[in-house]
Amino acid sequence: MTPQAVNGNGTGGGAPAAPERWREREDEDSLFRQLRLTVRQGLEVDGDTPGGAWEALTQVGAWEFALPIEKDGLDLGQAVLAMVCEEAGNSMQPVPLPDTLLALDLVSGLGPLAPESADALLDRVRTGELPLAVPGRLPDPRGVVPPGITWKPDGDTGGVVLTGAGGPFAAGVGAGALLVLASGPDGPCVVLVELPAAGVQVRPLRDHGGGAVSSAVFDETRIPAESVLLRGLAAEHALARVGLRAAVHQASLLAGITAAALTAVVSRIRGRQQFGQALVKHQGPRLRVAGLLARLDAVRWAVGDAARDLDEGRLTPGEAAGLIALTAETTLDVTRDAVHLHGASGLVRDGLVAGCYRRAAWEAMRCGRPAQLWDTAAHTP
């Protein structure tokens, strides 16, 4: 990060009218940068509410970015989707973006196993009508289903019975359906539950300033066979594929949240006066913020490189686990330091930096705890 990111003019000058935006990677081509600018402007103009952010993502065609060409999508690749997730994280609107991308990835890749209603479901997502949420954790980079929800066969209907609870997940826009990942006697199971549904309770959780968040509870919920997308070995193979992508998408979202926190910090130290001069002129805060900016740059480069490796089929589960562990730790550390640099105002519930800190507390765990992910990275090729 350049010195101007902290000092404005390199000498500790006055604060500019608009918040600093971090410079883009030099290897981004002009078309990619224009696409990033389009997404960013859409979120800045219309994304002042979760509903507005969801509409903005729909208007720029984010769902077409994710779908393959044979499903009437654009198939722009994981580097573009990672960029969209980063910009959405920076907007700090609690929308289930990585969840919906994971669901699109699974449904569009079902092939002959896809239910007859799959195309109609994708069309509803494409128009922004059907936000999809994953209750609880996303699959880890190896595709392992997280604990919390279990399934067993329903001998009467040929479907499954779900039991357990999953959460939290972003609920700024009401989920039209839940993509449930459950573990059971014959391996993992992937179920699509349209809401409202009998035996399924979506419970709002206290957001503490980080944005609307919910959990889902299943109490011996009977799911018909047509709503069961995958189970057993087929589910294991599909989740191993989408687990890599989910890790990159979630890491990108966390990088965006980190950038939002640091935007607030830079604005704070430029505008806050202490001992007759702006905080940015004091060496202690300036060096501390410079270190945080360097960590953000490192994470953004790592995520961008991982997305490109994913597009080229080179990203391994071990590398993806290390990426999400690094990003999660960085986000937790940076948002905590951002609260400290704000002083007492950093604890205000409605403040941006407090919201970043509280949202990071659960978003950083959605692919697993960093310690577990580092262990996976160390023992997985």
Give the chain's mean pLDDT: 89
Buried b (16+ CB within 10 A) or exposed e, 148-171: bbbbebbeeeebbbbbbebbbbbb
pTM: 0.91
Asked whether the beta carbons of 360 and 332 are under 8 A apart, the reply is yes
pLDDT classification of 280: cutoffs 50, 70, 90: low
Mean pLDDT of 118-141: 94
Mean pLDDT of 334-340: 93
* Bond preceding residue 168 cis, omega within 30 of 0: yes
Listing DSSP states for 134-172 in one string gives --SPPPPTT-PPPSSEEEEE-TTTSSEEEEEEEEEEE-S
Candidate from 203-217, 226-240, 264-278, 283-297 with smallest mean pLDDT: 264-278
Question: What pLDDT is attached to residue 68?
Answer: 94
Asked whether the beta carbons of 349 and 209 are under 8 A apart, the reply is yes
- Residue 1 confidence (pLDDT) above 50: no
- Residue 135 confidence (pLDDT) above 70: yes
What is the maximal distance between C-alpha atoms in the chain?
76
Mean pLDDT of 139-163: 92
- Residue 322 confidence (pLDDT) above 70: yes
Question: What pLDDT is attached to residue 218?
Answer: 97
Asked whether the beta carbons of 200 and 216 are under 8 A apart, the reply is yes
